[in-house]
Structure 1
């Protein structure tokens, strides 16, 4: 068996500890900036005005106040019907699974500019921690539909 012993002064111990702390702090700062830059791309929807502006930026015109606001806790793991709904969300760049286990708010607005449908169309916007996590446009009835938040292309006449 080989045993090594070393004598280290208190000054050397303090210097090594300080160097390690500087490296750890630098890593934390770099990772923090990387996370902030990713989050900065997502719109902050803290109030109704921000939500309506966000929808307008996508081409939607909605009544200024939601017709319904609902809060719910998303399950820790997505199961049906959330899995099927998340497929619709994936197609427009959202991922509902990022909000699993968190409080989600659904804001339902009346759409006023859906092509060839002057009434009966609503838009659901799901927000978690002031950021959009899902959304859909729907119309109930015999010829109803559910679609993404992507504004529909109108055919040229």
Structure 2
């Protein structure tokens, strides 16, 4: 059996502690930066149009800079149809409209310019309550239209 021993001075221990603390801090910063393109929706503050466009871009969408429509409305005190059905779609992507019942909500509609296989006719709706994203969808009207979550199609698999 072989045993090794080493003497480390207090000064060396202090230097090693500072180095270790620096490594841990760098690891925390790197992990926080890699935890997604901007984190969860609740971490976003969408006070300006630039913020909203940046949020959609963080999800993979390229949109025209200005919304084609902006709508303000008061969400009912209790969700009923069609809000209940729409909230099911929102639940699948981590949103829940029930937290905004009785509050003012803004819907911003943007033209999407990078939907796979559809160069035009696709829009992104982003719902904001108290500067937080609370719902959203991708919409294409027409005979072969659809409504889907904000999850970029390549990320669904």
Give the TM-score normalised by structure 2: 0.72
Q: Does residue 72 in structure 1 map to residue 76 in structure 2? A: no
What SS does the aligned partner of 2:153 have? coil
Structure 1 residues 140 and 40 mapped into 2: Cα distance closer, same or farther (>3 Å)? closer
How many residue pairs are counted as aligned between the two chains?
Answer: 116
In the alignment, the residues of structure 2 paired with residue 116 and residue 47 of structure 1 have an alpha-carbon distance, to the nearest angstrom, of 30
Structure 1 residues 43 and 90 mapped into 2: Cα distance closer, same or farther (>3 Å)? same
Deviation, structure 1 residue 40:
9.7
Deviation, structure 1 residue 42:
2.1
Runs of 4+ residues over 3 Å off in structure 1: none
Question: Deviations for 1:49-79, whole angstroms, at most 9, x for unmatched residues?
Answer: 0000000000000000000000000000000
Structure of larger gyration radius: 1
Unaligned 5+ residue runs, structure 1?
Answer: 1-38
Give the TM-score normalised by structure 1: 0.72
Instruction: Say what the alpha-carbon RMSD is for the aligned residues.
Output: 1.6
Question: Deviations for 1:83-126, whole angstroms, at most 9, x for unmatched residues?
Answer: 00000000000001010000000000000000000000001000
Matched residue, 1:47? 48
What SS does the aligned partner of 1:153 have? helix
Q: Does residue 111 in structure 1 map to residue 112 in structure 2? A: yes
Structure 1 residues 95 and 110 mapped into 2: Cα distance closer, same or farther (>3 Å)? same
In the alignment, the residues of structure 1 paired with residue 116 and residue 84 of structure 2 have an alpha-carbon distance, to the nearest angstrom, of 29
